[in-house]
């Protein structure tokens, strides 16, 4: 590992001297994401040689892994001890890595209830754009003064540094789980979710989708203590989903493999609208089908041609949210040009100052985020 680490440091220093961009890459499972995808700028820099579990203390609920460690390997280890990554990191193809999971900062269906990737990052080791090996945070949860740099790396897409090692908080697998189905339209689904959100219910994930026949269905996953889940099932009603395929269906939702995602027309892009959970049904442009709604109303996936981008961004902003093109039209999930919603002026200044501090030569994943 020391040799692999030294090789990466030398590559970064050489690239900084030459001002030659580097394209940080693990399993390549998210190459479809970001401006210019999949042909991102820079010389490839593979971090997969930095692989392995550094330490794991099940009793302390902490695991430390090198960035190139396969995500599947980490989750298998946790499962052996009845533990998990509660934020359910999506995997859009086999081969995803721990470092890529943190750098992308993407979370699955349970994100609204349990938190995002950054909420579980305890510490990181990175190589900045000057080839310096830096360590931030640690292996315990604590309040800090100033920037919590380790969490800042979540969702930075490698533009602030090459993650080499990360420490994560993990949690026990909930003892009980149940999924309920409610046949209802989008407005009723949002109303139900808002009402349940104000009650002490073990809500974990939700998904509303309209099928090809126009019928809407809301699926709600409950997780927690067995008594709490059973009581919630009695009070909420709905149709219990007991089929053995239910866990796989939630994984398909996480990985965008549900029929709603896979049936996307070739001339339609997949848009990601992040809005407040209390936002009403959005008046989408004419001809655009109803969205798939996750995160108790906070995440709305929309399939629409690129020409509707400005309208979708305006709709999201009207309710206090944002919109971005997650997968471009004509892409199959492995190659697309994604367009991010523009930062406001203040955020753009902060972002540029951070990049200047961590990567003054601008060689790390240029253009990947903004």
Which pLDDT belongs to residue 364? 93
In a shared domain, residues 222 and 281: yes
Specify if 293 maps to a domain.
yes
Domain with 149, as residue range(s), is 2-173
Q: Over the stretch 26-40, which tens digit does the pLDDT of each residue have? A: 998 988 877 666 667
Specify if 127 maps to a domain.
yes
In a shared domain, residues 105 and 69: yes
In a shared domain, residues 32 and 78: yes
Specify if 339 maps to a domain.
no
In a shared domain, residues 95 and 226: no
**Where is the domain boundary, 173, 196, 213?**
173
Record the pTM: 0.91
Cα 290 to Cα 297: distance, rounded to the nearest angstrom = 13
In a shared domain, residues 28 and 131: yes
Cα 113 to Cα 132: distance, rounded to the nearest angstrom = 37
Concatenated DSSP letters of 29-85: TTTTSSTTTTS-SSEEEE-TTS-SEEEEEGGGTEEEEETTSBHHHHHHHHHHTTEE-
Most confident of 28-32, 181-185, 336-340: 181-185
Cα 201 to Cα 199: distance, rounded to the nearest angstrom = 6
Look over the chain and give the mean of its residue pLDDT values, rounded to a whole number: 91
In a shared domain, residues 162 and 207: no
Q: Please list the residues that pair with 125 across neighbouring strands.
A: 135, 165
Q: What is the mean pLDDT of residues 239-264?
A: 95
In a shared domain, residues 162 and 15: yes
**Where is the domain boundary, 148, 173, 198?**
173
Which pLDDT belongs to residue 327? 87
Tokens 């995160």, located at residue: 295
Specify if 343 maps to a domain.
no
* CA torsion angle 70 76 79 84 (round to 10): 10
Q: How far is CA 94 from the centre of its chain?
A: 16
Specify if 243 maps to a domain.
yes
Tokens 């655009």, located at residue: 288
Structural contact between residues 30 and 255, judged by C-beta atoms closer than 8 angstroms: no
Q: How many domains in the chain?
A: 2
Q: Over the stretch 117-126, which tens digit does the pLDDT of each residue have? A: 999 999 999 9
Cα dihedral 331, 272, 162, 91 sign: negative
In a shared domain, residues 20 and 169: yes
Q: What is the mean pLDDT of residues 232-251?
A: 95
Residue 334: pLDDT band (50, 70, 90) is: very low
Specify if 289 maps to a domain.
yes
Comparing 177-191, 302-316, 346-360, which segment has the lowest mean pLDDT? 346-360
Residue 250: pLDDT band (50, 70, 90) is: very high
Specify if 46 maps to a domain.
yes
Angle at 168 between CA 165 and CA 173, to 5 degrees: 140
Query: Does residue 337 have a pLDDT over 90?
Result: no
Which pLDDT belongs to residue 329? 77
Structural contact between residues 270 and 301, judged by C-beta atoms closer than 8 angstroms: yes
In a shared domain, residues 282 and 304: yes
Q: What is the mean pLDDT of residues 342-349?
A: 73
67: domain CATH number is: 3.30.465.10
Q: Please list the residues that pair with 182 across neighbouring strands.
A: 218
Which pLDDT belongs to residue 147? 60
**Where is the domain boundary, 142, 173, 204?**
173
Specify if 189 maps to a domain.
yes
Structural contact between residues 160 and 170, judged by C-beta atoms closer than 8 angstroms: no
Structural contact between residues 294 and 207, judged by C-beta atoms closer than 8 angstroms: yes
Query: For residue 353, what is the enclosing H or E element?
Result: helix 345-358
In a shared domain, residues 140 and 201: no
In a shared domain, residues 14 and 163: yes
In a shared domain, residues 123 and 155: yes
Q: Over the stretch 57-100, which tens digit does the pLDDT of each residue have? A: 999 999 999 999 999 999 999 999 999 999 999 999 999 999 99
| DSSP E strands, 78-161 | 83-84, 121-127, 133-137
Cα 202 to Cα 228: distance, rounded to the nearest angstrom = 7
């Amino acid at each position: 590992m020391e040799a692999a680490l030294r090789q990466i440091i030398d590559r970064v220093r050489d690239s900084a001297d030459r001002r030659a961009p580097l394209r940080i890459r693990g399993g390549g499972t998210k190459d479809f994401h970001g401006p210019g995808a999949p042909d991102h700028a820079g010389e490839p820099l593979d971090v997969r040689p930095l692989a392995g579990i550094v330490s794991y203390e099940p009793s302390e609920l902490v695991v430390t892994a090198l960035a190139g460690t396969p995500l599947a390997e980490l989750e298998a280890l946790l499962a052996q001890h009845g533990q998990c990554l509660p934020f359910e990191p999506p995997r859009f193809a086999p081969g995803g890595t721990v470092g890529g999971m943190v750098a992308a900062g993407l979370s699955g269906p349970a994100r609204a209830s349990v938190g995002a990737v950054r909420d579980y990052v305890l510490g990181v080791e990175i190589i900045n754009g000057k080839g310096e090996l830096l360590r931030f945070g640690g292996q315990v949860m604590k309040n800090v003064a100033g920037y919590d740099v380790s969490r800042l790396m979540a969702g930075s897409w490698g533009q602030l540094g090459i993650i080499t090692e990360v420490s994560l908080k993990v949690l026990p697998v909930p003892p009980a789980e149940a999924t309920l189905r409610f046949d209802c339209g989008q407005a009723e689904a949002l109303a139900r979710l808002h009402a349940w959100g104000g009650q002490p219910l073990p809500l974990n994930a939700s998904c509303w989708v309209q099928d090809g026949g126009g019928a809407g269905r809301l699926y709600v996953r409950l997780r927690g203590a067995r008594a709490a889940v059973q009581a919630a099932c009695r009070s909420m009603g709905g149709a219990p989903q007991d089929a053995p395929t239910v866990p796989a269906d939630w994984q398909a939702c996480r990985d965008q493999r549900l029929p709603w995602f896979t049936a996307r027309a070739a001339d339609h892009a997949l848009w990601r609208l992040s809005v407040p959970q209390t936002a009403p049904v959005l008046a989408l442009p004419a001809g655009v089908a109803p969205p798939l709604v996750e995160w108790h109303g906070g995440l709305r996936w929309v399939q629409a041609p690129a020409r509707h981008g400005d309208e979708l961004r305006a709709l999201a902003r009207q309710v206090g949210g944002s919109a971005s093109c997650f997968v471009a039209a004509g892409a199959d999930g492995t190659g697309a040009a994604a367009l991010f919603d523009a930062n406001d002026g203040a955020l753009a200044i902060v972002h540029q100052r951070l990049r200047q501090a961590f990567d003054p030569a601008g060689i790390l994943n240029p253009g990947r985020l903004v």
